[in-house]
Structure 1
Amino acid sequence: MPERLDGTVALVTGASSGIGEGAALALAEQGATVALAARRAERLEALASKIREGGGSVLTLTVDVTEEEQAREAVKRTVAEFGRLDTLVNNAGVMLLGPVVDAPVREWERMVQVNLLGLLYCAHAALPHLLSAAEDGPRRVADMVNVSSVAGRRARRGFGVYNATKHAVGAFSESLRQEVTGRHVRVSLVEPGAVETELFGHNRPEIQDLLSERYVGMERLQAGDIADAITYIVTRPRHVAINEMLIRPTEQEA
């Protein structure tokens, strides 16, 4: 049976849209107090209003997780405001696709900064608090959920550096899991397939056209589908850890 998250605090990065927004709403519905971290302050405030209307407690944090000090400050402010941190959802990410030959290297740098370094900065800052929550929290367990992608399992033409960042997230997550699981901090990897979010719109127009052709006629996942998965992971009993979850649209072959 799922366990509610009353008395716990969750920090969600990339919370201004898509999976992050969905996860924040879902965790708040389960009773968690939620800190929302992203760069777009207006989007965060709109989401915070929804959570407050539902009776939840929430904090908005205008943060660029690629800046280490900002990532650390987000964790620090969350703990200062609410006294603890039980759950970190590392969701912030970008997907900039295209051939390696003649690629804009700045796109590669951006993906490494957001998908990998931003996740690492947040993880490092949060870990002491997660370990503490696992020792004395209301559920005596804490969770770090790292949102990766099916691209973290399977390399595909045109996905090169995005593949590389998501494979790295998977390797980091498994290594960290082995390090802290004995102390009841659960590290989980969520790997969505094609989801209807803003990620596709970050690409150059010619890449967007190719993606539209690739997924034409496919019923993609919705952000809420992934939020449901994240909620399932963090509401398991203390003795149950969901290490990895791959979620694809039914019609997606690879």
Structure 2
Amino acid sequence: MENNIHGKVVAITGASSGIGEATAIMLAAKGAKVVLGARRKARLEALVKRIRVDGGEAICLETDIRQHNDLLRLVSLARETYGRLDVMVNNAGIARLSRIDDIRVSEWEEMIDVNLKGTLYGIAAALPVFKEQGSGHIINIISTSGIKIVPLQGVYAGTKNAIRTIAEALRQESAGLYRVTGISPGLVNTEMPDHITNEAARSAVKERAAQIGVTPHAIAGVVAYAISQPDNVDVGDIVIRPSVQD
């Protein structure tokens, strides 16, 4: 067994790019069986092919985390294919940055649906399996935005802090039956800023991420570290950011 990762069945949402893609590649290389979900089916299928060519095990399912049934289907695919689920990585998320008094209600609702409800749906899909097995691991990709509060990120940070609060309650309720880890990245050089609708915020975040952002591979390494610990060791919260980030 390699670092307690080899042979584990790991579901990852938002796996078609960025942190999710890097995590899938790294875990598969370490011997995990990865079950990948995202909305971009073609990119998922290309990633599965790449992992298999490199000798890894991977399957995928087009998944919209705003739909509870899609997360149930992703977990069911893991069990039908590999017989179990060991880790659920709730990675998918979006950032819609703007001043609160801009009143972009539709963007608030979108972040709540994806960042908050989508993560809860992933947790809800995995927990019955973990209870049945007597083991499991929830990993939530959160954000440093919920730690340092700044303008334009109020609602986004609110959705991330909600997950941080929920996860801590879940950890205590689990009584050691399953592990719960929160990983809060700072600036990461991914395509996420491309989808910020506020033009000024989008340009600023993209420029800063290009200058100092860490790679998705760095975040994937932290996910692997948390999984690799002995089963009775729960890595709670990890903050990973560029060394020069404020």
TM-score, normalised via structure 1 length? 0.92
Once residues 212 and 17 of structure 1 are traced to their aligned partners in structure 2, the CA distance between those partners, rounded to angstroms, is: 16
Once residues 143 and 152 of structure 1 are traced to their aligned partners in structure 2, the CA distance between those partners, rounded to angstroms, is: 22
Q: Which residue of 1 aligns with 2:221?
A: 228
Change beyond 3 A, Cα 1:212–1:64: closer
Alignment of 1:1-254 (within 5 A): 3-133=3-133, 135=134, 141-183=135-177, 185-204=178-197, 205-212=199-206, 215=208, 218-253=211-246
Shift of 1:216: 7.3
Once residues 167 and 71 of structure 1 are traced to their aligned partners in structure 2, the CA distance between those partners, rounded to angstroms, is: 22
Shift of 1:6: 2.5
Superposition RMSD in Å = 1.7
Indicate the percent of aligned positions where both proteins have the same amino acid.
Answer: 38
Q: Which residue of 2 aligns with 1:138?
A: none
**Could you tell me whether the CA contact under 8 Å between 1:24 and 1:34 is conserved in 2?**
yes
Change beyond 3 A, Cα 1:88–1:194: same
**Could you tell me whether the CA contact under 8 Å between 2:187 and 2:209 is conserved in 1?**
no
Shift of 1:22: 0.7
How many residue pairs match? The answer is: 245
Shift of 1:238: 1.9
Once residues 64 and 152 of structure 1 are traced to their aligned partners in structure 2, the CA distance between those partners, rounded to angstroms, is: 24
**Could you tell me whether the CA contact under 8 Å between 2:34 and 2:59 is conserved in 1?**
yes
Query: Deviations 1:105-151 (Å, cap 9, x if unpaired)?
Result: 11111100000101101111111212334x3xxxxx52110000001
Q: Which amino acid in the other structure matches residue 209 of structure 1?
A: S
> Secondary structure in 2 aligned to 1:127?
helix
**Could you tell me whether the CA contact under 8 Å between 1:2 and 1:236 is conserved in 2?**
no
Q: Which amino acid in the other structure matches residue 120 of structure 1?
A: L
